[in-house]
Structures are given as C-alpha cells and as structure tokens.
C-alpha cells in the first residue's frame, strides 16, 4: 500500500528514483550542467513543478516559488 505524502514529496521521491535508474543505465559520461547552485534532482523537480503549475511564465513560477519557500 502507498503511504500518504505531499505532492512535493512524491515528486522529489519520483525524481530520485528516476535519476537513479537513468544513471545506472548511462552508457556515456554524465552531462555536466553549468549551474552549480542547483543539483540535478532539484532541476528535474522544478521542471516538473513548472509544468503542472498554474502560472503565466517561468518568471512568474520562480517568483511564486521563492515566496513559498
């Protein structure tokens, strides 16, 4: 049975599991992003949240997410 968790926690867990699966299947060197302040899981999580959020733009999303932090 699934345990009850927030949407944010579910997305975070899903991203971690997906990243582990992708890294274990990786045949080539890992792609390096030029953003040392945001790890890969955070990048994926924010991308998923941006896609499902009711916002007008990326700037609107980041302004709202900073206020909610």
Q: Give pTM, 2 decimals.
A: 0.50
> Residue 29: pLDDT above 70?
no
When pLDDT is averaged across residues 52-63 and rounded to a whole number, the result is 81
CA 10 to chain centre: 11
Whether the Cβ atoms of residue 43 and residue 33 lie closer than 8 Å to each other: yes
pLDDT in tens, 14-26: 888 888 887 777 6
What is the average pLDDT value for the chain, to the nearest integer?
A: 76
* Of residues 46 and 69, more confidently modeled: 46
């Amino acid at each position: 049975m699934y345990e009850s968790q927030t949407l944010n926690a579910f997305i975070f867990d899903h991203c971690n599991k997906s990243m582990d699966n992708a890294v274990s299947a990786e045949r080539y060197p890992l792609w390096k992003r030029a953003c040392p302040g945001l790890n890969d899981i955070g990048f994926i999580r924010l991308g998923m949240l941006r896609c499902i959020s009711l916002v007008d733009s990326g700037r609107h999303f980041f302004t709202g997410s900073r206020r909610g932090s």
